[in-house]
Structure 1
Amino acid sequence: MFGRRIKGRLPRVPASIDDESVRDFDNLQKAKGKLYSDKKRHAEHSDIQEGDRVLVKRMKKDHKLQTDFAPEEFQVIHKKGSDTTVRSSLSGKEFRRNVTHLKKVPDSNDKTSDDKDDERVQNNEHQLMEENAQHSTTNAGSLPQTEDSRGKRKRREPVRYDDYVPYYVEEAIGGVVASGSTGYRQDIVMD
């Protein structure tokens, strides 16, 4: 019973319990659960180190238009696990915060990732321009087809208007509407 000694009056031989396989299975299940929950929560390891400049999250906002992070920069002076001590660059006060409440301020020297992103965007734009140029040269001789692949419904007036002649139809057929006419077919006098 989970390694506990059962109290009883009957004498018995103590059994050696080898629970190593149970511990291994338990550790395996815990590791699987951790991987699954980390994946679902998009958990990542923090890359904040001692000496980094960070922004601290506001724990309480004064109004709804305030940003999530205070604009004041802090410097990380001590880090142990996720517990981080930061010092204000303006007032010199020290605060302890979890790394989830900190956001690293990108250094001005750290432009390598931005440069790579800019190069990727420029390459993609260049490729799109080339593809458009190729398509325009191949389709220059042929007219674009405006054929609709989907069928359309047949449009017609409702049945209730079958005996009614609209004004524009009366003029087209040259009929004269009698005075006090309602516009129905029997009121139209043909000349």
Structure 2
Amino acid sequence: MNTLSVFFIFSLLASLSIALEHDFCVGDLSLPRGPEGYACKDPATVTTDDFVYTGFRGERTTSNIFANNVTLAFADAFPAFNGLGISMARLDFGLGGVIPLHSHRTSEVILIVKGTIIAGFIDSNNIAYYKRLEVGDIMVFPQAMLHFQVNVGETPATAFVSLNGANPGLQLTTLSLFAGNLPGDIAEKITLLSHKEVTRLKRIFGTA
């Protein structure tokens, strides 16, 4: 057995031994987040409540411009997810409500629990995959793909999503273009929208 093989086996065993040293790593939000997540909360101070998240309870208002309400249960809201490679969110849609085009660093699964929506994603070949989803249906959005959801029913709708990362990130295309510090003239060039339309959108999001 050569040196490289021995090193590989040793590294693999070492990584497995580290993984088995901890049953969990509830995030300590008082400390800075590193590239692998939060540092672990002292296990002696962990209680059952650390593993329960109640933020999805109750009704939601959907009065914003997209007629939606998004409740995120990422690691910064539910520290028990820290290090486990999972997170969740609740999506509430008013009549005609949408979750506009966006992406994550992770893949996502959506489960419809109320109403009817059209959900879909667009791949790197600009092919759109979309479907009308009813209660009980699920759909998967592959990692990093632009995706969206639209309430097409006659009642409000609710869905839950699960993502395979404790901090999957969330980048809304519309907000990235018109709610940040991107100059309007650049936005016009890269979107082919008119000056009037770009100004209107930036004004909507408070940056004009």
Larger Rg: 1
**TM norm structure 1:** 0.21
Name the one with the larger helix percent.
1
**TM norm structure 2:** 0.20
Larger RCO (alpha carbons 8 Å, 6+ apart): 2
Name the one with the larger strand percent.
2
